Structure 1
Amino acid sequence: MMPADLTTAIAESLPYLRRYARALTGSQASGDRFAAATLEALLEDLDAVRSASSPKVALFRAFHLVWSSAGAPVGEVDGGLAARAERHMARLITPNSREALLLSVIEEFRDSDIAEILGTDTDEAAELVAIALREMEDSVSGKVMIIEDEAIIAMDIEDIVSEIGHRVTGIARTRDEAVALAARERPDMILADIQLADNSSGIDAVNEILSKTTAMPVIFITAFPERLLTGERPEPAFLITKPFSETQLRSAVSQAMFFASTETLTA
């Protein structure tokens, strides 16, 4: 029988494994089957838990042993946004790159943890993540709407977004302009400041847009992150603080567009 402290630690990490397995396999049912097989494997080899750097790493490492031995199959993909995200994931062609990407971006493991989970070294784990990010950036393009009242910042954002292959549908400076712009042409993603030119709210603009259309990823860019990071629900999946770097914006745009909606993967 697993000791009580290990049982608690594994139980606390299990929801994250289920989330990861769902994203990796493309379906909740398939992911849960692999998660259950992982628990059975751990029960047969408790030394694997004790020898790992943490119980969570041990759980994910055991999952990957089961996953690899089964040939890394993809289940019957769930519909909607999950299917869209899974189609994007399938475009990552380098072995273990999609695993490394999800472990890094969704589960926020360090490179050293990813190396331990995948059975490689830290440098290779970091390179797998970098390769996945490059492949991810190259694989998805779409329409992006910008809500930003500062002209210079708006132009910088437009240039960066265009350089990585997306088309900007337009730039809105107020809530009303944003709602009207989205109605004329539905974007695939929104980049929004919080405080707008007429003291209207980018948050309100986004909420009104989303109330009239299907779900889409949103990135908030703001000098006031504390207004959104309150610990209350809902909080944004992607939040960039001004001043931002080009690298930060490129990465956030690529990830948000690639995964279609992180709600699908992190719920």
Structure 2
Amino acid sequence: MKKIQDICLTKDNIREIPCCPGGLEVRGKKFVGELDQVLRWRKKMLEKGMRGFISYHEEIARGFIEYMPVEVAPLPIEAPGSAVLMCYHWVPRGNNEEEHLPQEKRLIELTIEDAKEKFSGIVTLGWNNPVHFPIKMLEEMGFKEVETYDYLSLMWLPFENNMKNPRMIQSKYEPKNLFSEGLLAIDQAYSTRCPYSIHNAERVKKLIEEINDERICYSIHRIDDREEAIKWSISPWNWEWLFFNGDEINLFDKKSKDLKKMILDRIDKLGD
């Protein structure tokens, strides 16, 4: 691979992040919703102390990584004096899965060295998934699991001796189940940090408007800052989720027509 150039995130270049409007991750894909929110969210995070890097390969912004002080980060984590690694991504060429993990690992190593100048440790969330924020890769870099919730683990890399382990703040929100009242509670959360999350929130909203049934009780919650991350937290934690009468629904593998059918089927069962 040709030489890669890593540049610190600034307000001037942050729009070049692959997930921002026009970036490599979203280019040529169809989205509903206002993707400019992705850029505005990052500008706010920079004002709160977010740092990171954009990686250019052949003059194309193909990767990025973001971290910030735990105390102001939009995640329900306690780790005083530490940084939290929030998001990192490398857009591979074609379907080359072997390309993105080594580059993401390189970006994490770069971030660790940068964070050591100001913080006593760095914490992040790892997934029991071989290609998405994988726990195994983080362990290879020195992180250790300190808490585990289903597929999600709180990962910790202290820079000093005798550091107290970080912890997840206990989940606060319980999705509603209104079946006994003859109603369908649809609870949803999203974040403007991610274009896919904006897209999913908008398509669920449009489906509910199309169905137009008074038995649907729809609540949507935005998780963009620390207070919202704590207030609307579930376990395992995520900043995007969907529940139908307390049952979690996986949005990522559902087409809109399938979601609509699921909603209509749930409504039909209310009268059984």
Normalised to the residue count of structure 1, the TM-score between the two structures is 0.32
Structure with the bigger percentage of strand: 2
